[in-house]
Amino acid sequence: RKEVEQDPGPFNVPEGATVAFNCTYSNSASQSFFWYRQDCRKEPKLLMSVYSSGNEDGRFTAQLNRASQYISLLIRDSKLSDSATYLCVVRDSSASKIIFGSGTRLSIRP
Amino acid sequence: DAGVIQSPRHEVTEMGQEVTLRCKPISGHNSLFWYRQTMMRGLELLIYFNNNVPIDDSGMPEDRFSAKMPNASFSTLKIQPSEPRDSAVYFCASSVQGANTEAFFGQGTRLTVV
């Protein structure tokens, strides 16, 4: 079983739609959680951190459920520029290992 | 800060040759990660260092792969001998060690072994 699992997609949604991605992780000792974004042929970049109480950054909302070991990302009012691959990321506390999910591809159509 | 710097950006080599990928982490970062990305397997953690010491190399696919970090500002990933299945994008990332800090990536090295 992979340490971080994501639905690979692709998700193909119209502009303005709301889309949600989910991610599960296997290590209950994981301490920090992030969502990264990767554009085609580019390096991954941090989109947002995920806090225990949930957090919002503009059109993006991240949620964490430690009991279920589940992380989500919600994108509201999607834009063409949101088309990318979204990577779920988990970091443990002890040795600070950072593990990435395989990513979910999102394509926004006009 | 220039960010994480990787070289070369592209490498094409013949099967059997030695390949060396280089990485300069962000100054002040004490964790360094090497990842490999392919369409089939996604972004795989190969090895990571804390304070120049290798902590976990369980992701290194086989003995043909080796990584070093001789000082805080430089790391190498070496493949010897290279094989066509090693073709991938290799990313280096650095971070401040600690649970709540994110990793910053270099632009990657696109390796093609023919």
Q: What is the pLDDT of residues B60-102, one digit of tens each?
A: 988 999 999 999 999 999 999 999 999 999 999 999 987 678 9
Indicate the pLDDT class of residue A110, thresholds 50, 70 and 90. very high
**A34 contacts on B by Cβ (under 8 Å):** 102
- Cα–Cα distance measured from residue A86 to residue A46, given in angstroms and rounded to the nearest whole number: 10
Residue B84 phi/psi, 5-degree rounding, is -55, -35
Would you say residue A59 has pLDDT above 70? yes
Secondary structure of residue B64 in the 3-state scheme: coil
- Cα–Cα distance measured from residue B109 to residue A64, given in angstroms and rounded to the nearest whole number: 33
Using the beta-carbon criterion (under 8 Å), do B43 and A44 form an inter-chain contact? yes
Query: Mean of the per-residue pLDDT values for chain B?
Result: 95
User: Which of A46, A96, A99, A105 is the best mutation test for B, with the most CBs of B within 10 A?
Assistant: A96
Distance from CA of B16 to the nearest CA of A (A): 26
For chain B, the straight-line distance linking the first and the last C-alpha, in angstroms and rounded, comes to 36
**pLDDT for the residue B38:** 94
Contact, A5 vs A87, CB < 8 A? Answer: no
Cα dihedral value B48, A90, A40, B92, nearest 10: -10
Would you say residue A95 has pLDDT above 70? no
